[in-house]
Amino acid sequence: MIKIILGSFVLATSIFAVDLQTNGVEVKFKNSKDEQKTVVIKREKKEECKDVGFDPKVVYGGVHQAAENVKADCKRAFVTYMGKISPIKYSDKVETFGEVEVLDFIEKSKTDKNLMLVDSRTENWFFHETIPTAVNIPYIYTKKSQYPDEFEEYMEILGVTKVDGKYDFTNAKTVLMFCNGAWCGQSPESMKELIAIGYPEEKLKWYRGGMQSWLSLGLTTVKP
């Protein structure tokens, strides 16, 4: 078995990693009405879509003129956004995650409350659709100089305390941040602001692909 060491996480070409994709990760979350829900995070594909041929004209066919015979429920359109493309690594200390690592992180966070999945997008994006178990900490509220009250509130959520007027990161959570995609600057902006006040970089993880990659792979989302 070949193992890839990712900081405190061990990701392997193992049965465990495969099972997370095959069987999914069952999690609980509360929606905006404070109702507790249970959902299984997995790749979802409707039965009527399983016989769609894997063909370049179908998959990359622009506005899908070449996929006229593919049922509407088997297609999903994305707007091409011209934001600045982020490099694959934010820094040497911040690990970049892919979808399998995200699933592994979510599975571990069920028993390790020091792990937190954070949606860095503004509230309108978050409430439209997000990854199950994600906590919304909008990037704008990590700007201490502009939103001091909200900043302190979210620092408390992240496990950061103040001692003699200085931030104490002893119990700061290990945070996996994401936003809309490789072109989205919201999670990188959050990380920049947190690092500026001393948040340990080794406690920051980054899902660079974000919502666009998550949705393109047919993985489960929820509306909070």
Element (H, E) at 115: strand 115-119
Weakest-pLDDT range from 34-38, 183-187, 206-210, 216-220: 34-38
Question: What is the structure's pLDDT at 64?
Answer: 47
Q: Which CATH superfamily is domain 25-44+85-216 in?
A: Rhodanese-like domain (3.40.250.10)
pLDDT at residue 29, as a whole number: 83
145-197 pLDDT, tens digit each: 999 999 999 999 999 999 998 999 999 999 999 999 999 999 999 999 999 99
pLDDT tens-place string over residues 6-55: 444 444 444 455 677 778 889 888 887 788 889 888 877 778 877 777 67
- Domain boundaries along the sequence of the chain: 25-44+85-216
Angle, vertex CA 128, rays to CA 48 and CA 104, nearest 5:
70
Q: Which pTM value belongs to this model?
A: 0.82
Whether residue 154 contacts residue 137, with contact meaning beta carbons closer than 8 Å, is answered with yes
